[in-house]
Structure 1
Amino acid sequence: MMNDLPADDGFRTAFLFDLDGTLVDSVYQHVLAWKTALEAEQIPLSVWRIHRRIGMSGGLFMDQLLREVKRDLGPDAVERLQAAHAAAYHDLGASVRPLPGAREIIAALDELGVRWAIATSGRLETASINLATLGVDPKSAIVVTRDQVRYAKPDPDLFVEAARRLQIPIQQTIVVGYSVWDMLAATRCRALGVGFLSGGYGSEELERAGALRVYDDPADLLFHLDEICSRHR
């Protein structure tokens, strides 16, 4: 699925933000929630192995984790795992906070007249916690969740759909995320990838996956915004 909008002669650009680990400090809450859910099904898995897959499609995430432990679960068990993860994440939701500069960069883009959207592999039931923490109302902002596309990262569907709703060609967007899955998705839809270190991946990993620039977090991107967004209108 590709964005088929015509190129804009004025070269407007837009930012497409991932949510977990990019705008909100929630990666490790997701890791612990998955750990809780997996243990309830007697599936032993090290925390670091879970962390390496946060941010990808839930189905792909589940396939890879179960491959690690050489298990094959039926649909009922998979549904229990997903429900247990959501419940455990809700229990941890009070500890989720916006990352430094997250609210400020959104405000700055609004001030500059630069459009933005949020595209997350999370389903609305968990993404809603993060959006509330960030102060973003999905009824007034453009937010694309896993529930709304056929495939999630590393497929580019989330970002393509966000660009479509912004009415800006995907090739004119800047995808901002913390994981290699974000950067791979950006590369696949020919968007510019910008990586953050705030979710636990290193600079070299993000650059190998396609990131043109890597910053610490939203505050660091805001400080260097003119490096990638010199023309605003």
Structure 2
Amino acid sequence: MIKAVVFDFDGLILDSETSVYNAIQEIFTEHSCNMPLELWQQCIGTKDFLDPFEYLEEQINKKVDRKGLRAKHHERVLSMLEGEKPLPGVEDYLEAAKELGLKIALATSSSRQWVTGHLEKLNLLSYFDCLKTADDVEHVKPDPALYLEAVKCLGVKPNEAIAFEDSANGARAAKAAGLYCVVIPNEVTKGLVFGDVDHQMESLAEVQLKELMNRF
């Protein structure tokens, strides 16, 4: 019996993944270079897989102001996200989960500060019974720790929860932790191979939560 739902954040609730990649691509273009999407996709949902500015230096064969470029990238991403709304179906799923009496958690490889700030702006923070972020674990996705901590926090067993993910790293983490996993790719992650997930759809608006739960 499903008792809980656990959401990823970036690219699943808010399409920050597209903004993050586009902002990186802008910086690379300014240096007459390119960040291949295929390489960037391997970074999504995890942390410290690739330093884009180290990669930039390797491609152009000279040093760059990494600190300055990181700050520029961060500001550009925030600018791109200004006024962005939750992805289709997100609010409906959160509301439906509450009405169905499900417990709700968030499991993300991002920092708590990043997540809570955006959830507050989106007026979604109050929906969550538990937040597990990179600040709470030693290893982020694809390690299962975030999902194991999330279900522990909610007081449910892994097989009593459905994880919603947009990345291959996130999906691997959810399945390794023993949760059901539903994948909703975004503009940056579509085309990835997600492996042994339980269901995949184009958006959360495609199927109502109650109908989806009946499949499990």
> What TM-score do you get using the length of structure 2 for normalisation?
0.80
**Runs of at least 5 residues in structure 2 that lack an aligned partner in the other structure:** none
| Equivalent in the alignment of 2:200 | 214
Q: CA deviation at 1:188?
A: 1.3
Given that residues 170 and 190 in structure 1 are in contact (C-alpha distance below 8 angstroms), is that contact kept between their aligned partners in structure 2? yes
The reply on whether 1:184 has 2:172 as its aligned counterpart is yes
Q: How far apart are residue 177 of structure 1 and its match?
A: 0.6
Residue of 33, 40, 56 corresponding to 2:45: 56
Q: 1:16 to 1:60 in 2, by over 3 A?
A: same
Q: How big is the shift at 1:100?
A: 1.1
Distance 1:43 1:126, change over 3 A: farther
Judge conservation of contact 1:37–1:88 (CA < 8 Å) in 2. Answer: no
Give TM-score scaled by structure 1 length: 0.74
Determine the structure 1 residue equivalent to 2:21.
31
Paired residues for 1:1-233 under 5 Å: 11-35=1-25, 44-46=33-35, 48-49=37-38, 51-62=40-51, 66=55, 69=58, 77=66, 82-137=70-125, 141-202=129-190, 205-206=193-194, 209-222=195-208, 225-229=210-214
Secondary structure in 2 matching 1:220: coil
Per mean C-alpha deviation after superposition, the further-off stretch among 15-24 and 121-130 is 121-130
- Cα-to-partner distance string for 1:101-159 (whole Å, 9 max, x where unaligned): 11111001100101111111222343234313432227964222222221111111221
Distance in 2 between residues matched to 1:185 and 1:110, nearest whole Å: 25
Q: Is the 8 A contact 1:178 1:199 kept in 2?
A: no
Shift in Å at residue 39 of structure 1? 7.1
In percent, how many aligned pairs have the same letter? 21
| Alignment RMSD | 3.5
Aligned residues: 215
